[in-house]
Structure 1
Amino acid sequence: MILEVDNIWLGYEEELVIRGLSFDLDEGDIGCLLGASGCGKTTALRAIAGFEPLRAGEIRIGHRIASTPDFRLAPEKRSVGMVFQDHALFPHLTLSENVGFGLRRVSRDERRQRVDDLLALTGLDGLAHRYPHELSGGQQQRVALARALAPEPAVLLMDEPFSNLDARLRRHMGEEIRSILKARGTATLIVTHDQQEAFALADKVGLLKDGRMLQWDSPYQLYHRPGSHYVAAFTGRGSYLRARIDGNKLIHGLGRSPLPIDRPEGDELALLIRPDDIRPDADGPRARIVARQFQGAQILYRLRLDTGEEIAALFPSHDDFAIDESIGVTLDARHLVLFPTAQAESFITPSNPNGH
């Protein structure tokens, strides 16, 4: 593994900020620490970069020890590249000078070649002599990335890299940055509070809460197989239905489903329903449209079932239904996610069908 974070604990004075954090990245992997403000994700990133001491645990970068409670390798000796929120470009240097800034120990010819290669990789060739103020926000982002990659670090760290870009540019840059990182093959760790950004960029995502890693998994697993209600709620919209076990079946407001786990007869559970788990079916249980939100290619509906429970459903926009219309629906979940009823009790009432 290129980056190994093993049971690290960090804090300031009496306050613990990171509690027993562990994960690893291999060459070419893109990982992401995801969480709300104050969860500890940026502190963890700073510890990997060498800016924060550990209270316990160990960080290894490129198969050598970088941090323990008794030792901290200097940031400039860690083979780590860093992309900051504000890009931190040098305004008095041209684009090519910014990219080549960290290459003072290589020959002039090699420096020129690396800069040229990175400008081509990031789609900035032809702009080498421009200054940062002459570039768009997206171009500045790519300059910052190229500069961080130029010294060929073992690990690249990116702190909220798209926070200063508008929503449309964030989506576009996310696709570009992932393509660049994969082409380069550099292990990368990104910090963000944005679930969509994390899912679009990363191979593995770790969700943090109060300094603890709740789940480290692929975006698909986090969304479809969340390990807790908090993970389910943070990673996407969801509704809950009361469910009970009857033999080898799960009985709920949308009918019967095969029981995915071995539980005692009569157990009452909360069944997580994602909006994309529901589809129209003329022969299915009836539901009434109580709200709708047109989203272009899709329409987000709020449906009231005969049980009085409400769920969110996301249909293609050609499935165009009116408020108060009664339609048939079916549950098309490939895997059912169940939680103890008590864990989701406040989320299975008609007043809050979306799990937020």
Structure 2
Amino acid sequence: MFEFLKVRARPTGDPSHRRGKVAVTFAARLTFDDVSRRYGDTVALDHVSLDVAPGEIVCLLGPSGCGKTTLLRLAAGVERPSSGRVLLDNKEVAGPDIFVPPEKRGVGLMFQDFALFPHLSIVDNVAYGLKSLTRSEAKAEAFASLERVGLAHYASEYPHILSGGEQQRVALARAIAPRPSVLLMDEPFSGLDPRLRERMREETLVILHETSATCIVVTHDPEEAMRMGDRVALMRKGKLLQVGKALDLYRAPKNIFAARTFSDLNELPARVIGGSAATVLGMFPANGIAEGGAAIVCVRQRGVRFLPAGEGVPARVLDSRFLGDIALVELAVQGLDALILARVRESDVPQLGSEIGVKVDQGAVLVFPADNGPSQAVP
């Protein structure tokens, strides 16, 4: 038996934002237990374990080719794991001796390109996967899903008349129409322009919370992952590097790759002396790195502060680039071969060529062993 919630329409004159009722489904726990996936000699997933609680939204974050989509395909039943198990509500659906086909898993999959059929009407696109219902029942359910995303007035039209954002909402309607216990979304906003992407994220979050389905969203955008996920699972080269709330990953990344993912950094080589990493910009706690060991001090660009000339560490302003509300300032710092970048309010940018002082906020510094991660921010 399903409950129904009344949705509050957004205050807008656009009829596409008037949405109907959203069905609440029974969310399932989704568990990946030591899952690997190999294609010949290529390892796409390397012993990944992840538990997603019922009703939780987890964002899989990482560069292209890191295994995010492969993990989704294993959950959906599109592919089989080479080893390990996939479980729904602690019931094995894929493993060494068991494989439950996709149509029997109660899992919805929303593709990156929306995959709408151009020869079918919009309501027929949404009804396409409702094979267990009669045609009239499927159309009624599809129409209800279109109401939920504010597009019921387009039911008899065809996909080619829709904007990118509207096609995204039709794809979402099709994914939620069967009331899946788990919803998998593969880069659902990547084809949209930045402003529309932000709006679609917000609208999709509303619908996901109303349906209460367990959800995994694949993205390569850290901001999107932090905005949408109850937790973020960071991946690299088929491995799960770190899982947690966005704030925890931002404040305490496990390695330099994770730190680079969530922040724009200045990276300074350092040597540990007396328990601190020594740099031109100051001494910073070395977090257990051995005495005399090599370290990398990562200073967030927003943590560089400007002082009057004669205070702090001497520096010269070389360049400034306007980025909207902030500016990116390029500095030559005395004693450093590499340039330092600082993100500040546009109104705080010093005159180009001027001599200033700089200091670093201690809270904007992360210190890692020199061998903690890749030397370059590459996939």
Map 1:338-349 onto structure 2 (within 5 A).
Answer: 338-342=367-371
Alpha-carbon distance change, 325 to 224 in structure 1, aligned in 2, over 3 angstroms? farther
1:284 and 2:312 correspond: yes
Aligned 1:215-294 pairs, distance under 5 A: 215-247=242-274, 249-257=276-284, 259=285, 261-282=287-308, 283-294=311-322
1: CA distance between counterparts of 2:186 and 2:60?
10
Which amino acid is 1:129 matched to?
A: S
Name the residue aligned to 2:212: 185
Q: Is the Cα–Cα contact under 8 Å of residues 114 and 150 in structure 1 kept in the other structure?
A: yes
Shift of residue 178, structure 1, vs aligned partner: 2.3
Letter in 2 for 1:154: S
Alignment of 1:1-356 (within 5 A): 2-106=29-133, 114-115=141-142, 117-247=144-274, 249-257=276-284, 259=285, 261-282=287-308, 283-308=311-336, 309-334=338-363, 336-342=365-371
CA deviations 1:70-116 (Å, max 9, x no partner) are: 22110001111011122112333333333333335357897677545
TM-score by structure 1 length? 0.86
Q: List per-residue Cα deviations over 1:216-251 (Å, max 9, x = no partner).
A: 233333333221222223444211123344546554
With over 3 angstroms needed to count, the CA separation of the structure-2 counterparts of 1:295 and 1:44, relative to structure 1, is: same
1:143 Cα deviation after fit: 0.8
Greater mean deviation of Cα atoms: 11-20 or 91-100: 91-100
8 A Cα contact 1:53 1:69, kept in partner: no
Task: State which drifts further: 124-133 or 64-73.
Answer: 124-133
Q: Please give the per-residue CA displacement for 1:38-95, whole angstroms capped at 9, x wherever unaligned.
A: 2222222111111212221110123321100222110001111011122112333333
- Cα distance in 2, alignment partners of residues 316 and 204 from structure 1: 30
Structure 1 position 271, deviation (Å): 0.9
Distance 1:154 1:61 in 2: 9
SS at match of 2:199: helix
Going from structure 1 to structure 2, the CA distance change for 1:57 and 1:39 (only over 3 Å counts) comes to: same
Unpaired segments ≥5 residues, structure 1: 348-353
Distance 2:290 2:43 in 1: 40
Q: Structure 1 residues 292-301 or 186-195, which shifts more?
A: 186-195
- Would you say how many aligned residue pairs link Structure 1 and Structure 2? 349
**Structure 2: where are the runs of 5+ without partners?**
1-27
- After superposition, what is the alpha-carbon deviation per residue over 1:231-283, rounded to whole angstroms, capped at 9, x for unaligned? 223444211123344546554322244x2624444444211111122233445
Label 1:176 to 1:32 Cα distance change in 2 as closer, same or farther (>3 A).
same
Is the Cα–Cα contact under 8 Å of residues 240 and 355 in structure 1 kept in the other structure?
no
In the TM superposition, residue 346 of structure 1 has moved relative to its aligned partner by 5.8
The alpha-carbon deviation at position 333 of structure 1 amounts to 4.3
User: After superposition, what is the alpha-carbon deviation per residue over 1:301-330, rounded to whole angstroms, capped at 9, x for unaligned?
Assistant: 222222214322111111122332223333
Question: For 1:339, what is the secondary structure of its paired residue?
Answer: strand
Q: Residue 173 of structure 2: SS of its match in structure 1?
A: helix
User: In the TM superposition, what is the alpha-carbon distance from 1:149 to its structure 2 partner?
Assistant: 0.8
Q: Which amino acid aligns with 2:367?
A: L
Q: 1:148-181: CA deviations, max 9, x gaps?
A: 0111111111122223223332233223222322
Q: Does the CA contact (< 8 Å) of 1:276 and 1:313 recur in 2? A: yes
Alignment partner of 2:347: what SS? coil
CA contact (8 A) 2:64 2:220 kept: yes
Asked if 1 retains the 8 angstrom alpha-carbon contact of 2:267 and 2:299, the reply is yes
CA distance in 2, matches of 1:39, 1:200: 21
Structure 1 residues 225, 355: CA separation in 2 closer, same or farther (over 3 Å shift)? farther
Residue 28 of structure 1 aligns with an amino acid whose one-letter code is G
Structure 1 residue 23 displacement after superposition:
0.8
TM-score of the aligned structures, taking structure 2 as reference length:
0.81
